Amino acid sequence: RQFYQRARRRKKLIGNFQNDLYDQCLQFYGQPPLENISLTEFETFAVERLKLLKTVENVGVSCGKSSEQYTKKLDAEISSLNFPHRGGISEYEKRRKDHISHFILRLAYCQTEDLRRWFIQQEMDLFRYRFNCLHSKHKTDFLHKNNLKYETVSAEEKKNLKDKLIASSYGLSGTKVEEHDVYKVPFQDALDLVRTRKVYLLAGNAYIPHHEIVTIVLNDFRTRLSKALAMTARSLPAVQSDERLQPLLSHLSHAYVGQDYSIQKNIGKISLEQIDALSGKSFPLCMRHLHKALRENHHLRHGGRMQYGLFLKGIGLTLEQALQFWRSEFVKGKVDADKFDKAYAYSVRHMFGKEGKRTDYTPYSCMKVILSNPPSQGDYHGCPFRHSDPELLKQKLQNYKVSPSGINQILELVKGMHYQLACQKYFELTHNVEDAGFSLNHPNQYFTESQKLLNGGRDIKKEVDMSQRSQENPASVTHPSQANSKQAHEEMGDLDSFFQDE
């Protein structure tokens, strides 16, 4: 009986805590969730937030964050994603999901510097958008509720500085100075406003008009979030020892939230003779690069074979075709047919789920290629936008006849770490279209979209064009050891048998 009473009390406490926490549509995520949730809900919430953050990233880059179009496009895209939007009142479930999913992604994205940076950037952009959508009264309520007290400039100081404030602040008139608060913060807390010369500076302080308060709130949000991620990373070993959560979290940081390319829609539609031509026209840069390396070296290491082999499987090669493809190329190098059958045919059959754990492996998504298993010397796998030196990338793009202005646009996106958007730009430039019309998440998606465009909406057209076949230059490469290969198989097996990349 005592147990039930305690459980009821705890439930009531959690209920009160949540009602209080979710009374506003915007959160500072200061309190972690306390309730128990199922593993299914855990995964669904996480994947949905990932979709939300990917949308924020894509819209930010395609429209420019300060444009009017940015808010309109985000408005349209976010309204369909089932997260708190423009402060609706009966939104308890959405707010709960917003809260819980943020904390789940903290666990997944605290693991490396790259992941942390990406997560903080998208969360900040989302926060800014949501804060700007709030009515002025709700903004003040939010500041009070979260105890965000910024030093306000006294009426007398405002009077003395009135002319200077009006002259140096963006969108500030005489009446506004008198009626609204002006905040005084160290200039380094408002660098965005200082950089764009939107505020008055005096003795190391920036004077922020009320309508620009989002800048300092965001600064606070960033500081708290990066501290929180550092703390989360410290407690990660404890979370990772939970064998239910560990694979989920590791998958999430590589997660791809689009179509499942393991289902071979085009099985058998591609002939081996088409591959050279297709690699020049419809393969993304990562696969074009792997194909060229294979043709030149007659070999690829394990990472390359997995990335390229699964891609080929995704575009429609059958197991028999794949075996023939790899064998015919390897025997031109240092591997004879017998050795191929003994050492390599197994891994091709493994990819098709015919060996080992019989997992039907899924082609790698961009996130997986970009974030896991970076290539080292002698490897050709990975994403050229992420893993190539910018100078090498530039040369490669020049070789593929991308215009100098196009190359600059791509390199700018790479500099901002928008690798998939850089790849999308490469798609637009090489297909001669203004707007790709899709949001790139997967090398196989790149291929499908390219084929649709080139074939006027139809999927894959049979064509035999050997003109783009690369020259075959024998080169020496190191063969992977059997031990490495076995270990990699096992790792793949463990991960992918748990997650059929949705």
CA-nearest of 322, 379, 371, 327 to 350 is 322
For ligand SF4, the closer CB: 333 or 384: 384
Residue 378, number of CB atoms within 10 A of its CB: 13
Residue of 284, 309, 333, 363 interacting with ligand SF4 (CB under 6 A): 284
Tell me how far apart the alpha carbons of residues 324 and 493 are, in angstroms, rounded to a whole number: 24
- Stretch of residues binding ligand SF4 (CB under 6 A), selected from 72-80, 136-144, 168-176, 280-288: 280-288
Residue of 366, 397, 402, 413 interacting with ligand SF4 (CB under 6 A): 366
Q: Under the criterion CB under 6 A, does residue 248 sit at the interface with ligand SF4? A: no
For ligand SF4, the closer CB: 45 or 447: 447
- Stretch of residues binding ligand SF4 (CB under 6 A), selected from 185-193, 290-298, 381-389, 449-457: 381-389
Tell me how far apart the alpha carbons of residues 447 and 444 are, in angstroms, rounded to a whole number: 5
Phi, psi of 208 (to 5 degrees): -105, 120
Query: 201: part of which helix (H) or strand (E)?
Result: strand 200-202
Q: Under the criterion CB under 6 A, does residue 322 sit at the interface with ligand SF4? A: no
Tell me how far apart the alpha carbons of residues 139 and 158 are, in angstroms, rounded to a whole number: 22
For ligand SF4, the closer CB: 322 or 366: 366
Smallest gap from residue 11 Cβ to ligand SF4 (A):
46
Sheet containing 205-209: give its strands across.
182-186, 205-209, 200-202
Tell me how far apart the alpha carbons of residues 401 and 315 are, in angstroms, rounded to a whole number: 25
Q: Under the criterion CB under 6 A, does residue 127 sit at the interface with ligand SF4? A: no
Please spell the DSSP secondary structure of 237-285, one letter per residue: HHHHTSTTHHHHHHHHHT---S--TTS-TTTT---GGGHHHHHHHTS-H
Residue 152: helix, strand or coil by DSSP? strand
| Cα of 393 vs its chain's centroid, Å | 21
| Cα of 466 vs its chain's centroid, Å | 36
Tell me how far apart the alpha carbons of residues 277 and 92 are, in angstroms, rounded to a whole number: 54
- Stretch of residues binding ligand SF4 (CB under 6 A), selected from 214-222, 401-409, 416-424, 479-487: 416-424
Q: Under the criterion CB under 6 A, does residue 42 sit at the interface with ligand SF4? A: no
For ligand SF4, the closer CB: 106 or 386: 386
- Stretch of residues binding ligand SF4 (CB under 6 A), selected from 17-25, 89-97, 180-188, 283-291: 283-291
Smallest gap from residue 414 Cβ to ligand SF4 (A):
10
Helix axes 92-109, 214-240, angle to 10 degrees: 60
Vertex 79: Cα angle to 73 and 82 (nearest 5)? 140
- Stretch of residues binding ligand SF4 (CB under 6 A), selected from 196-204, 265-273, 298-306, 364-372: 364-372
Is residue 366 annotated as involved in ligand binding?
Answer: yes
How many residues bind ligand SF4 (CB under 6 A)? The answer is 14
For ligand SF4, the closer CB: 222 or 452: 452
Smallest gap from residue 259 Cβ to ligand SF4 (A):
14
For ligand SF4, the closer CB: 84 or 375: 375
Yes or no: say if 325 and 311 are a contact pair by the CB < 8 Å rule.
no
For ligand SF4, the closer CB: 201 or 417: 417
Residue of 74, 172, 407, 423 interacting with ligand SF4 (CB under 6 A): 423
SS (H, E, C) 156-197: HHHHHHHHHHHHHCCCCCHHHHHHCCEEEEEHHHHHHHHHCC
- Stretch of residues binding ligand SF4 (CB under 6 A), selected from 178-186, 251-259, 269-277, 380-388: 380-388
Q: Under the criterion CB under 6 A, does residue 323 sit at the interface with ligand SF4? A: no
Q: Under the criterion CB under 6 A, does residue 285 sit at the interface with ligand SF4? A: yes
For ligand SF4, the closer CB: 335 or 423: 423
- Stretch of residues binding ligand SF4 (CB under 6 A), selected from 39-47, 82-90, 151-159, 383-391: 383-391
Residue of 384, 413, 425, 480 interacting with ligand SF4 (CB under 6 A): 384
Q: Under the criterion CB under 6 A, does residue 385 sit at the interface with ligand SF4? A: yes
Yes or no: say if 388 and 288 are a contact pair by the CB < 8 Å rule.
no
Smallest gap from residue 427 Cβ to ligand SF4 (A):
8
- Stretch of residues binding ligand SF4 (CB under 6 A), selected from 17-25, 272-280, 292-300, 417-425: 417-425
Please spell the DSSP secondary structure of 390-424, one letter per residue: HHHHHHHHHHTT--HHHHHHHHHHHHTT-HHHHHH
For CA atoms 169, 173, 175, 180, give the dihedral sign: negative
What is the maximum span of the chain, computed from C-alpha positions, in angstroms?
90
Q: Under the criterion CB under 6 A, does residue 446 sit at the interface with ligand SF4? A: yes
Q: Under the criterion CB under 6 A, does residue 419 sit at the interface with ligand SF4? A: yes
Residue of 286, 335, 429, 492 interacting with ligand SF4 (CB under 6 A): 286
In the DSSP assignment, the letter for residue 343 is: I
Summarize the annotated binding site as residue ranges: 286, 366, 383, 423
Interface residues with ligand SF4 (CB under 6 A)?
284-286, 366, 369-370, 383-385, 419-420, 423, 443, 446
Summarize the annotated binding site for [4Fe-4S] cluster as residue ranges: 286, 366, 383, 423
